[in-house]
């Protein structure tokens, strides 16, 4: 029998120098056997999001945490 578990989360802005936008990111992590799945929902004033243009040739980048607003670490 496969065990199914679900954990909800809500991300929080990090650091005192970052304003808290009218945006919320929340979601769930599901585990079924050896498979992990994450779903998330971004809601709020989406015009406040700064999205870069889609790159025709995506590349791996180091230190994205310095400029991105969203990271998710599995532990």
pLDDT band at 46 (very low <50, low <70, confident <90, very high): confident
The pLDDT of residue 26 is above 90: yes
Q: CA-CA distance, 38 to 30, in Å (whole number)?
A: 6
pLDDT band at 69 (very low <50, low <70, confident <90, very high): low
Between 66 and 32, the more confident residue is 32
Pairing of strands 23-32, 35-44: antiparallel
pLDDT band at 11 (very low <50, low <70, confident <90, very high): confident
Annotated domain spans of the chain:
1-44
pLDDT band at 50 (very low <50, low <70, confident <90, very high): confident
């Amino acid at each position: 029998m496969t065990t199914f578990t679900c954990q909800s989360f809500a991300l929080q802005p990090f650091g005192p120098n970052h304003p808290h936008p009218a945006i919320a990111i929340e979601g769930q992590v599901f585990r079924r056997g050896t498979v992990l799945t994450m779903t998330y929902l971004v809601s709020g004033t989406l015009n406040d999001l700064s999205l870069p243009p889609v790159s025709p040739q995506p590349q791996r980048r180091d230190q994205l945490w310095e400029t991105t607003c969203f990271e998710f670490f599995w532990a």
